[in-house]
Structures are given as structure tokens and as C-alpha cells.
Structure 1
Amino acid sequence: MEYKNKLILAPMVRVGTLPFRLLAAQYGADITYGEEIIDHKFVNCERRINDIIGCTDFVEKGTENVVFRTCPEERNRVVFQMGSSDAVRALTAAQLICKDVAAVDINMGCPKSFSISGGMGAALLSKPELIHDILTTLKRNLNMPITCKIRLLKSSQDTVELARGIEKTGVSALAVHGREVTDRPKDPARWSGIADIVAAVSIPVIANGDVFEFEDFERIKSATGASSVMVGRGALWNASIFSPHGKLHWVDVKKEYVRKSILWDNDIKKTKYTLKDMIGHYETLESVEGRAITKSETFADLA
């Protein structure tokens, strides 16, 4: 997988399921990241072919709980993002999925407590030796692109040092969210911090943060020098942000998402969560539609 001049869907918990990834790809996303999956959970999964809807499921043993669902159509662009704090466990999880995805990414930026308390996500940013151990173990044992996603540290010098250490592991690309762990989404992303990293390393850097319109893809690339651009909330609110022909009306995008969710038998709770975030950007969840989504118990209700 190449990481030059690519438009990329960012990993988003509960959002980045198969229907949403296919939705983003339909509108022009070149690479689509799945939601972060914790290695502890994934190593307890078994691979099953689902002939009914034509997909591959990774299901928690002893249950019918689908932890990750993919399909042949996205094989060459889907990235499996993993939360891990242990090199051996990360490798075990990656070996389960490697034949069904285009690349494996290690989450090193998630600020959520469930991730940090387990020593994963942003907790890794202060553990360069563990980062090196996880990434080199994956690189040594897997014949596929390995990447990771980080956030900015307090000082530009520290972030650059971290990025250079990551580069030495041989990863194929480095995604950088232009915010610190303590920053909130409303805080402006620091594109200059991403530019410092681009100037310091030779591997492709994927810039992430405050991309809300198609024109922002070029703006952030010009400001940072990054190889590719990743978008999260901008895509969540309207996945047709990836289209060079201009955004579709969000209502049409929402309908297509519901259609794909039904087609691929998506988890109803995750579908509702995504829909609430979609419409919450445009209107109050106390609207007629917002309340209808909340009350929906089946896909028939949603449709």
C-alpha cells in the first residue's frame, strides 16, 4: 500500500465499521481505517466466512459477537487499527487478521480512559522502548505495511524525537493528529507541529486535524508538507467530503449509510451512535428525527 497523495478515513470508535468504511470509499476515500480494536479482545476471536452477506467475520469465541467485519471489496484499502501494550499479543492479533486487510496500525493517540488505563493509546507516547518493541516485532514477522498514529507532545522537540524513533522501526507511514492528549476537539489543531515532523523524517507522514471541507485536504498538505491527509469528524458529519465533485446533502449521505448498514447487517447500536453524531452536527437530537433514532430498536424502525 502506498501512502502518497491519499485521502484517508480516520479510525473512529463505534463509527468505523464496514458500512461506514464502504460509504467513505464510495465517495472517494483511498484508505479506510477501522475502529480501534483492543488486542486482548481480538486474540479471543475466530475467523468465520459469512456466506449469507459475503463477508469475513472475526467473532468472539463462544458468542455471536462480531468484533470485526470486512469484505473482499475493501481488502486492498482497509487498515486494521489495534490498541496494544504488548508486542507478543499485538503480533498474535495481527497474525489473525493479516490475510484480510491491507495494513495494520497501532493506536498511540487515543486519549480515552479505557485505552490509557490499559497502557495503550496515548499512554504509549511516553514509552519509546515499548513503541519500538511493538513496531519492530510486527515488522519482523509480518509481510505487510505496519503504521502507527500519534498525537503531538508538549514540545515540538519531543514530538520530533518520538517520530524519529518510530521511523527507525521501519514503519511504512506515520499518522499525526495535530493535537496534544489534553486538547479537546474544539481546540484548533496545530498544523505547524505536523510540519515539524514532516521536516524531520523521510517516511510518509499522514496529517490529521481540522479537515472539514474537500479544499482542506490541499490546505493541510500545503501547510505541513504531509504525504497524505486523514479526516475524522469531517467525514463523520458528511462522508462525501472525499468527493472532488463537492459534498452531497447530508440527508442523502445518511440514507446511504442506513442502506449499507442494513445490507451488511451492522450492529444496531453502532449504527444509531453514528447516525446521532451525523445528524447532531446539523440539528438537535431533540428533533423529531433525533428522537425517532433514539427510540428505534430495529433496522426496520430506522429505515
Structure 2
Amino acid sequence: MAGRLSFANITALAPMVRVGTLPMRLLALDYGADVVYCEELIDIKMAQCRRVENEVLQTVDFVAPDDRVMFRTCEKEKQRVVFQMGTADPDRALAVARLVEKDVAAIDVNMGCPKEYSTKGGMGAALLSDPDKIEAILRKLVSGVSVPVTCKIRILPSLEDTLTLARRIEKTGVAAVAVHGRFKDERPRHPVHCDYIGAVARAVAVPVIANGGSLDLVKTHGDIQAFRAAAGASSVMLARAAMWNPSVFRSAGPLPLHDVMIQYLKYALRYDNHAFNSKYCLCQMLRDKVESALGKRVQAAQNNQELSEAFDLVAVFEETQAALEARRDALQSPERRRDHVIAVDGDVTTMALKFQRREYPPQLTPKMFLLEWSRRQKLEQPTYQTVQRAQDRGFQSTVTVENRKYRSSLWEKSKKFAEQASAVVCLRARGIPESRVGQENGGRPHKRKTEDGRDVGQEKRKKQAGDGERETGGS
């Protein structure tokens, strides 16, 4: 089929848990990777997701019921990103593949990761001992989706068994097989078995992607071709070498690590990557320098602004936030605005919203305003009942006012934010002005002004610049 992704003679960013998120994938493509794999995503979690077109970030997000983004992608990588899933169930695998197939270039099944994250429930390397299930999953996917299907395996203790499995996989109709040249119980410190990879490549007609050479064979771009030749494979997939410095994909040679980290962080800011994921990736790049002054600042950072400060990118952070805010404002214009829907869940009035701290003045929160309003109305003080769910430790709060209950249907990261969200629901459901900044324009925050109309933030920055201080602000 025209336009289908080819796996012959390519260099790929390997799937890596917590590393293969959107910023790292885009960076690898910028530096010369032909194909990029996302981190392994578990079918049970993905099957619960809904597909959301994020107009602000210009991404497609797959969002879990608890409002977490499980997978985020964008147009720039659409023709070259491979979605890797962890699965042990053919029907569930197909459901997930059909959910994402219009937004990715191929589907891959993880059959090689030996860690418990992957092997529990019979996924990952656990599948190697169940070739019937491997065949059932792959045949279901190949016949059920319009994009190429691949898989990633480890070698078996017996070369004969490895070749038998590879041939059986080929017959399912997959477009390629990635082979990590280590046994299930071996780790990166063990030498990669290039002879096994080469034997598989000679035994099947589909492209074989060699994996596992980062530690001892691939340290620079020039080593990639040598690994390809040593393994006798069509293509190469890099994990750790790319994690440590994604510019390993550059044919012109690697870039200074500090420059690479800055480019990574710019992507992380642009696509609103979770700060703790960004911090993890940056620490992996720092490696033995993680205890340096820069490394300590990165480890201490709690949000994207503090990560930006560590790299002297405060101006970039502010510009990026302003651009995203401007896009939000445009999308929230009177013509585009979609008000939150008020619903009733039993005896509780609900709305799907989160507490956004930036929308309120520094000294006023929805809880405080609701309390003051209740006092003026001579009502009893609002009471809050908060619960926490076990699977992700999210919080949800219900506020009672005049014997009527209100809560947000979305879960928050803290008890404090959950209570604030329930207060917002109460205020909005009852039509009480909540003193948000810029509420006169539909609730989106405006720049605060001084009495003579000057921008408060701009005046603050001027003063700090005059004092020789760097603005740090709040997140």
C-alpha cells in the first residue's frame, strides 16, 4: 500500500518506558532517526482512553478516565511513529490498535521486555513461552488494522527455537521483526549476541531490526553501520545510546549534550510534557553528571518553570506559556466557547472541570470566596468531604452548601485542589461570581493592570531587571 512505513534500512529510536514520549521522539527525528517508537503502553489502560484533538497544543491525545494523557502525538511524527503496546489478549490488542491506527504509522507488540512492568499478566517477554498466543495476537492485528504490524522479541536459549519462533511470526504477515540480541534473563551488561540476530535475519524474508548494541557496540553515529553489519540485519534500533544523547542519530556527529538538553526542554515546554517525565529524561542524559550543580537543580525542580530556570530558559518558558495562552483565548472566543455542562449524579450537582490556580488573584481562592459568600448570606459554613482512589491516588471532593452537594467529575492531584474544584462547581452552578481574573470575558485570565492601565507583570519585570534580579514567579 502506498505510503506505508518501510522498516528496511532504517535507524529507529527504540521503545523505552518513560523515555519515548513526544519530546524525545521529535528530537530523535530532528537528529536523523527514520522511525521512532513510543514507550510501551499497556492495552488495559489504553482501552479505557478516549481520543481527544487538543486544539491548544495541536496534538492528538489519548486520555484516560482519570484525565491523564496516556499517549500524545502530533502531525510532525504521524508518518514515522510506531505505537508499541503491551498485551496478552488478541481482542483487546485489536481494540487498542483500532483506537490509535489513524494517528500512527504502525503498531508494534512488545514481546521482549523482561521487566515485571511488561511481563505481569503474560505480556512482554512472557509471551516468548506462548507462541500460540503470539500468533493469535499478530494475526488478529494484521488482519484487523490498515497500518503495518511488527513485534519486538528477545532471543531464546536455543538458536533452533529462536528461528522456529521467527519463522512462525513471519507467517502471520508482520512487516518486520525487531530482535533484542539477549536472552530473557540477560541485562545490558551482558554482551549482545549478534550471531543470533544474524541467523534470524537469514531465516526470514521480512526486515529484521537489530537491537541491544548500545552499551558495548554503538557509541557514535559511525558505530550504527558497524552494528548493522555485525548483526547481519536490515535495520538498527537504538535505546540507551539515544537516551543518553539523541544526537547519536546525526550523520554529521553528536552535538554537545547541553545543547541537546535545551532542545529537548523546548519541545517539552511546547507540548506541555509532564515535568516529572521531562526531569527523568534530562537526568538520564546527564548520567554521571547528575550530581553536578546543574544535575542537582534538575533533580530539585518540581515543575516546568523550575526546569527552565535550571537551563536559563525562563524567557522561553514565558514566551511558550504566552503563546499557548493566546491560543486558548482564541479558542475560547464567544464563537468557540463551550460552557461546562452541569449534570446531576444522584443528589450531587457535577461539572467536568479542574481548579486552575492561574485564573484567580493571588490572595483569593474559590473556597475563600464561597466561605465569604455563605457568611454574607447568613448560611452555615460550607463542608467538604474528600475521597482518594487507590489506583492513581487521585482526589475528589464534595462540598455541601444549604444541604445541596457539588463536586467536579474530574479527579485532582491533591486534596487541596479537589476542594477548590468542588467550590468552583458550587459557585458556577449557583451563578455566583467567583472573582476570577478577567471573569468579565468568560473567565479566561487577563493580564492584570495597574490603575493607570499598565501591565502589572511587565512593571514587575522592569523593576526586577533594574534590581538585577531574575524573575522566578509561580508555576
Task: State the TM-score, normalized to the length of structure 1.
Answer: 0.97
Instruction: Give 1:220 shift.
Output: 1.6
Does the CA-based 8 Å contact 1:212-1:235 persist in structure 2?
A: no
1:139-218 → structure 2 map (5 Å cutoff): 139-210=142-213, 211-218=218-225
* 2:140 matched residue in structure 1: 137
Q: Which moved more, 1:211-220 or 1:170-179?
A: 211-220
* 2:112 matched residue in structure 1: 109
Q: Secondary structure at the match of 1:118?
A: helix
Instruction: Report 1 or 2 for greater relative contact order, CA contacts < 8 Å, sequence distance ≥ 6.
Output: 1
1:19-98 → structure 2 map (5 Å cutoff): 19-61=23-65, 63-98=66-101
Q: Which moved more, 1:38-47 or 1:224-233?
A: 224-233
Pair 1:230-2:237 in alignment: yes
Does the CA-based 8 Å contact 2:276-2:303 persist in structure 1?
A: no
Distance in 2 between the 1:275 and 1:238 partners?
10
Distance in 1 between the 2:123 and 2:76 partners?
30
* 2:304 matched residue in structure 1: 299
Pair 1:12-2:19 in alignment: no
Instruction: Give 1:224 shift.
Output: 2.2
Detail structure 1 runs of 4+ shifted over 6 Å in the superposition.
Answer: none
Does the CA-based 8 Å contact 1:103-1:145 persist in structure 2?
A: yes
Instruction: Give 1:199 shift.
Output: 1.1
Deviations 1:59-118 (A, max 9, x none): 002x22000000011110000000000000000011100000000000001111122121
Distance in 2 between the 1:191 and 1:245 partners?
26
* 1:246 matched residue in structure 2: 253
Equivalent AA in structure 1 for residue 10 of structure 2? K
Distance in 1 between the 2:136 and 2:274 partners?
34
How many correspondences in the alignment?
Answer: 300
Among candidates 247, 253, 270, match of residue 277 of structure 2: 270
Equivalent AA in structure 2 for residue 52 of structure 1? V
Does the CA-based 8 Å contact 1:207-1:228 persist in structure 2?
A: yes
Equivalent AA in structure 2 for residue 36 of structure 1? E
Equivalent AA in structure 1 for residue 159 of structure 2? S
What value does the CA root-mean-square deviation take over the aligned residues?
A: 0.9
Distance in 2 between the 1:187 and 1:72 partners?
38
Distance in 1 between the 2:275 and 2:219 partners?
27
Deviations 1:184-203 (A, max 9, x none): 11111111110010111111
Distance in 1 between the 2:201 and 2:223 partners?
18
Unaligned runs of 5+ in 2: 309-475
Distance in 1 between the 2:87 and 2:176 partners?
18
Instruction: Give 1:300 shift.
Output: 1.0
Task: State the TM-score, normalized to the length of structure 2.
Answer: 0.62
Distance in 2 between the 1:212 and 1:176 partners?
19
Instruction: Give 1:298 shift.
Output: 1.1
Equivalent AA in structure 2 for residue 43 of structure 1? A
- Which of these two proteins has the greater Rg computed from alpha carbons? 2
Equivalent AA in structure 1 for residue 138 of structure 2? L
Q: Secondary structure at the match of 2:182?
A: strand
Does the CA-based 8 Å contact 1:107-1:148 persist in structure 2?
A: yes
Distance in 1 between the 2:193 and 2:257 partners?
28
Q: Secondary structure at the match of 1:105?
A: strand
Distance in 1 between the 2:49 and 2:283 partners?
29
Deviations 1:199-230 (A, max 9, x none): 11111100111232212211122122211110
Unaligned runs of 5+ in 1: none
Pair 1:288-2:293 in alignment: yes
Equivalent AA in structure 1 for residue 265 of structure 2? V
Does the CA-based 8 Å contact 1:111-1:122 persist in structure 2?
A: yes
Equivalent AA in structure 1 for residue 134 of structure 2? I
Distance in 2 between the 1:75 and 1:10 partners?
16
Residue identity (%): 48
Does the CA-based 8 Å contact 2:12-2:33 persist in structure 1?
A: yes
